[in-house]
Amino acid sequence: MRRTFIAMVLCAGSAAPLAPAASAQDSLLGVDALATDSGRFRLKVEMKLNLRNANSLEFPVANTGAPFAVVMQTPSAHTSAEISNVILTAEGDLTPDILARAVVNVLDLYNRNPTSTDQRVFVREAFVRFGKKWESLKEMPGTTVYLELGKAPRFSKQILRKLESYGLWGTAVGRFEETGAEAGGSFGPHVYWRASATGGTPLYFRDVNALAGDNGTPERTVGSTVPVVYGSGFPILYDTMATDVGLSGKFQVGGGVGLRFNWGENNRSGIDLLGWYFRRDMADRVSLEGTFYSGDLRLLQGFVVALPVSGTEKYEGGINLEARFGPVHLFAQGIKQSIAGLKREGYEAELSWRIPLPGLFASGDQSVVNWIEPAVRASYIDNLFDAPPGFVAPSVGWDWRKYDFGFRLGIVRGLDVTVEYSRNEATSKKGVLHPDEGLLTLRAAF
């Protein structure tokens, strides 16, 4: 495993000079990318190439009542090289105060669930915003208000991850965009508010590493002769992608209040504290693409053995802390959640440090290798319930710790590479499992 991961790092170093342009900004091409002369309309294209390797583990599950043998196993344990995603982003300022934005993902291998049978082209974002929204750590000019309609990320989500992987709570809560309305604004330069009403996203389960794995795919039906493509993974409960229809007409509502202070050169340094809460009633079942499992309450019933659910209410509340001190960036989040009476809580924190480099050599008029950003993340889920023997995915009740560490290297404008390793500690009734993974990501944008 270690030899394989070292080889992945060396491969990244040799591949970097072959690709085009990366910026010392968090976005590969900065805010404008390909823009009209006026700057009002912008087009961004980004692709990701990956090398991935994961520990090979199996965990048989007995007495589930399923018409097939249930074995939780690493989705894909061998070393893989793959194009994981192509992202097309178009946005335009229709007026100085009206923004339209659309993001379409092609392939998106690491977000598909099930990995092998989910759709390969889908809209991640599509919204119109009236008024200015000042994202986390951005200096607010005073009292403002905005309204956002369409499909967009939750306001509580960590938008900018310094590593390509997700932490446990970054996976479990609000990973995908929701369709509906969000309003917000500020009272002066330091206090702001958020409110939303959306269709929510269905509850499902997935592995915590890059690949979601396959659960309920056609080759797992009785009598199928089709070979298994991916293993099931060791899934946790999480909010999966939104379906094309609402969850039985039951809206999710949410709100938040925050404090923000900025200082330093161009007010780039700052601290942002946000308290938030979301709630909805779960649907009896939600049909999902590519799997015979249903989302929401039906998922929690398993085959014969069900989780100890109570009621239909799903809610989560949390506190986000985000701070920037010069080149150092911190995002931390504490969360408590209840899923039909199944309670869990925990935290996630990511710390990074952007270090300028002098450039190892020149290519034309550009210096090559301009910055490096080491990052470390720790996350923890404490499940306050037990998955009873025979439930189809006992890992949803395991207490889980995940440590992600690595670095992102800025090559030139439009090109960077991220090398990272995930250390997992999943506490099962048979002992602690380590479904660890190494991941290398080459991002190119134009």
pLDDT per residue as tens digits for the range 255-311: 999 999 999 999 999 999 999 999 999 999 999 999 999 999 999 999 999 999 999
Q: Does residue 390 or residue 13 have the better pLDDT?
A: 390
pLDDT computed for residue 89 by the predictor: 97
- What are the pLDDT digits (tens) for 399-435? 999 999 999 999 999 999 999 999 999 999 999 999 9
pLDDT of 7: 46
Residue 152 — very low, low, confident or very high, per pLDDT cuts 50/70/90? very high
The answer on pLDDT for 354 being more than 90 is yes
pLDDT band at 38 (very low <50, low <70, confident <90, very high): low
Q: Does residue 20 register a pLDDT over 80?
A: no
Q: Is the pLDDT of residue 118 over 50?
A: yes
Domain assignments of the chain as residue spans, ordered by start: 2-34+54-75+131-445
What's residue 36's pLDDT? 62
| Helix/strand/coil (H/E/C) assignment for every residue in the chain | CHHHHHHHHHHHHHHHHHCCCCCCCCCCCCCCCEECCCCCEEEEEEEEEEEEEECCCEEEECCCCCCCCEEEECCCCCCEEEEEEEEEEEEEEEECCEEEEEEEEECCCCCCCCCCCCCCEEEEEEEEEECCCCCCCCCCCCCEEEEEEEEECCCCCCCCCCCCCCCHHHHHCCCCCEEEEEEEEEECCCEEEEEEEECCCCEEEECCCCCCCCCCCHHHCCCCCCCCCCCCCCCEEEECCCCCCCCCCCCEEEEEEEEEEEECHHHCEEEEEEEEEEEEECCCCEECCCCCCEECHHHHCCCCCCCCCCCCEEEEEEEEEEEEECCEEEEEEEEEEEECCEEEEEEEEEEEECEECCCCEEECCEEECCEEEEEEEEEEEEECCCCCCCCCCHHHHCEEEEEEEEEEEEEECCEEEEEEEEEEEEEECCEEECCCEEEEEEEEEC
CATH, range 2-34+54-75+131-445 = 2.40.160
- What mean pLDDT, rounded, does the chain reach? 91
User: Residue 222: which pLDDT band, with cuts at 50, 70 and 90?
Assistant: confident
pLDDT digits (tens, 9 = 90+) for 186-215: 999 999 999 999 999 999 999 999 999 999
User: What confidence tens digit (pLDDT) does each residue in 62-101 have?
Assistant: 999 988 889 999 999 989 999 999 999 999 999 999 999 9
More confidently predicted of 85 and 222: 85
226-256 pLDDT tens trace? 899 999 999 999 999 998 765 566 799 999 9
pLDDT (0 to 100) of residue 360:
85
Q: For residue range 120-137, what is the model confidence (pLDDT) as tens digits?
A: 999 999 999 999 999 999
